[in-house]
Structure 1
Amino acid sequence: MRELLEAAFPEFDWRMSIVTVEEVVSGPRVEPVALLDILEGERDARRWDFAFALTDADLESHYGPFALAAPSQVFGAGVISAARLRDADEGDTATPAVLARRILALALALFGHLNDLDEDEDDRSNPMHPIETPAELDLRGEFSTSQVEAMLPVLAKVADERIEEGQGHARGSVAFLVRAAGANVREIGQAVRRARPWLFPVWLSRLTTAALSTLLVLVVTAEAWELGMSQTWTSTMVLSTVSLLATSVYILKRQRLLVRRHGRVPTEQRVVANVSMVLTVIAGMSVTYVLLFALTWLLGIALLNPVLIRHWGNLPDDATLSGARLLMAGFVAALGIGIGALGAAFEGRSYFRHVLHVDREF
């Protein structure tokens, strides 16, 4: 792989190290995030720009029956499994040389993904062509000229001196955190976008179930309408903001989503990972809040008679209900995301982290 990269990118000095880590996998399957944790520590300690892990264990897939590889741009790393690199139709006829070629093809696909390359649907020999069977990896070749040109500015930024490598930077200070985040605004935005927080309600079924259950109970309860109508717009907005921030902090801590290495000072990469994760969770909970708000408002219009709303909310007969429904929607949404966060606590920690840290599965 180094020879291919040196030929494609002679502008850079390519160095590769191989490290063997024993007793990482205790069974036939392993979670990609478990390997990513190890890679993050090794990459940080050895000051690598990229890190790949190769394992004989099957990767635990959360989107399909199996996965051959999984990249994570936020970690600058990827994992590869050799467990399924022999096609079932082939039996065990794939030679070690064939397996090595397939591993190389997967490594190139991971490298391209980590450097912002899109899939190439047309050219089956391109490293970024979608993978359907392991045998297709035998057809893979090198990156095209256009792909090399697209990766050059990305690699140039990766090769730049990191903030922690400069002189006079106290890495434990708030100033370092602010500077590292400010220098990587684009990378943080891309990381949040890759995590697709707008799909939180779809991916996190326990969160959504708990939040929707709360919504349905409150919408059809007279006491809830009475309590909701007793709130002011200011108190509802404060409650919503506090609920959003508190639930986000709870999920971050409960699911251990922040990258932490005890005894080590922060690095630029870790700041990017943690800031993007905080923003992703806040954005995801905001999407859930908006969903609950909209559903409560719609149910208030579709199911509840105006007379009933006035009675439950102790409203005068001439009161307009548009503002009342919106106020109730904000109140219910604020309580709903709080209960939803408790439901999210029962999501498998590996699954939650896989959804947020792993960009995709090959």
Structure 2
Amino acid sequence: MGTGQQSLQSPSLSDSTSSAKGKPSNETKPPVEVGLVIAGVLDTIDREAIEAARRRLMVELESRFADFRWTLSSVSRTEIDIARRVDPVVFLDDGQMERDLHQWDFVLIITSADLIGHHKPFALGVVSRTIDLAVISTARIDPNAVELSADDESRIERIAERLQVLVLRCLGHLNGLPKSLDPNNLMWDFDNVIELDSMTEWTADQLNAMTSNLRAIADLRLEERMRVNTRSKFGFYARVAWSERREILNGILEAEPWLFPLRLSRLTTAAVSTMLVLMMTSETWDMAMSQSISIVLGMVLVSMCGTTAYVVARQQLLVRRQDRLLSEQIAVSKITTTLTVTCGLATSLLTLFIVSLILSYTLFAQPVVEKWGLSVQNEILFSHYVRLCGVIAAFSLCIGALGATFEDQSYFRHVTFVDEEL
């Protein structure tokens, strides 16, 4: 549970003043709630810098996006035990728990631990659109990391400034903004900490895009529009899948599941090894070529559903401490995660099918194929090769899923959830 929760909210405006100016009162503005989770025990410098950054962020967000009623809450989780260097995915469960508990729109976890990068030597932060969450480290944005003579006041000021930039960069990503080629833009893909100091602006197009996305997020959530006593779990998930289809699709695209075969080496190794063994076995050719197309399609479908369910369960991708809660945020996260894994495995299946089709059609002479495919009464056609490779791909994917269980759980969760390392 979070402790020491504090909130900053947009100041209330009187209805009379708002009406006189023709502007909506603060109470009628759509709300956007952002949560800051302070993970672990921080020193005085970091605590003061985070509080300073929090106040600046409130001013910045209210200025840039005045059409919304902003709430910036802070929860201290001092009981979280962190090492000097940690994998950022260890914070995901706690972040999701706090987000579900407080019904925040976005959650930002701030830690003093140095974050381990899987695609970079180190990471200042990671972002996940799948679960509307980001993890940010203060370890390397402290001037003391490179300039031991910096005094406390300048350290607090610089950490606060850089932390503000990182938070805005993460919020931009979480709202679907692409990277920018302008070094002064907040969406610049920076290479080092020093570049954060020059990242200060958003373009008008970026602000409009963020405003549009924030307006959609600020709408009443689906569970608030439905009568609690009439909603079923299946019906609720179906409605969420349809109403939030764009958000789900964006989350899947950010996760880049088509790179699963390259990123998950154990899965790919197991699947390819199985494919090669099956291709060199005459019984496989005889059995597969004699099957009907409908049976082959059924095998492919069963293998896809079975491997997706197995991998999701084995890697504990949907395990949550608030599993009894039924909210739109939780539903979107679970649907996006499941479909991301499904798309990743579908990519592996398609790759196995294409490779096996090319190899079987080009490397095996016709007399050998006719001898191995004894069950085929008529001439062996291209469609028989398609059936063969469909069966091989289905079996290979199943064995590949077993290989995926040997993937480090932290790394698998990183591949599935993390869109970008900062």
> In which range does the TM-score fall when normalised by the shorter chain?
over 0.9
Question: Structure 2: which amino acid aligns with 1:75?
Answer: I
The answer on 1:154 being equivalent to 2:213 is yes
**Matching residue within 36, 50, 68 for 1:12:** 68
Alpha carbon RMSD of aligned pairs, Å? 2.0
In structure 2, what is the equivalent of residue 345 of structure 1? 405
In structure 2, what is the equivalent of residue 360 of structure 1? 420
Q: 1:256 to 1:316 in 2, by over 3 A?
A: closer
Question: Structure 2: which amino acid aligns with 1:58?
Answer: D
CA contact (8 A) 1:72 1:357 kept: yes
CA contact (8 A) 2:287 2:375 kept: no
Matches within 5 A, 1:1-362: 1-86=57-142, 90-93=146-149, 95-122=155-182, 124-166=183-225, 168-170=227-229, 173-258=233-318, 260-262=320-322, 264-314=324-374, 319-362=379-422
Q: Give CA deviations for 1:285-341 in whole Å, capped at 9, x if unaligned.
A: 111111111111111122211111111121679623422222211110110000000
Q: Once the 2 structures are TM-superposed, how far is the Cα of residue 262 of structure 1 from its aligned partner?
A: 4.0
How far apart, CA to CA, are the structure 2 residues paired with 1:77 and 1:63?
A: 19
Larger relative contact order (Cα-Cα within 8 Å, sequence gap ≥ 6): 1
How far apart, CA to CA, are the structure 1 residues paired with 2:145 and 2:323?
A: 50
CA contact (8 A) 2:130 2:337 kept: no
CA contact (8 A) 1:59 1:66 kept: yes
CA contact (8 A) 2:143 2:159 kept: no
Question: Structure 2: which amino acid aligns with 1:251?
Answer: V
- SS state at 2:317 partner: coil
Q: Once the 2 structures are TM-superposed, how far is the Cα of residue 167 of structure 1 from its aligned partner?
A: 5.5
CA contact (8 A) 1:222 1:313 kept: yes
Matched residue pairs, number? Answer: 361
Q: Once the 2 structures are TM-superposed, how far is the Cα of residue 44 of structure 1 from its aligned partner?
A: 1.6
CA contact (8 A) 2:290 2:376 kept: no
Q: 1:292 to 1:105 in 2, by over 3 A?
A: same
Q: Once the 2 structures are TM-superposed, how far is the Cα of residue 89 of structure 1 from its aligned partner?
A: 8.7
Q: Give CA deviations for 1:39-86 in whole Å, capped at 9, x if unaligned.
A: 111112112211111101111211111110111112212110111224
CA contact (8 A) 2:285 2:388 kept: yes
- SS state at 2:108 partner: strand
Larger deviation, residues 185-194 vs 338-347: 185-194
- SS state at 1:130 partner: coil
- SS state at 2:388 partner: helix
How far apart, CA to CA, are the structure 2 residues paired with 1:145 and 1:244?
A: 44
CA contact (8 A) 1:192 1:279 kept: yes
| Moved >6 Å (runs of 4+) | none
How far apart, CA to CA, are the structure 2 residues paired with 1:269 and 1:111?
A: 17
Question: Structure 1: which amino acid aligns with 2:203?
Answer: S
How far apart, CA to CA, are the structure 1 residues paired with 2:305 and 2:376?
A: 35
Pick the structure with more strand per residue: 2
Q: 1:105 to 1:250 in 2, by over 3 A?
A: same
CA contact (8 A) 1:172 1:266 kept: no
Q: 1:144 to 1:321 in 2, by over 3 A?
A: closer
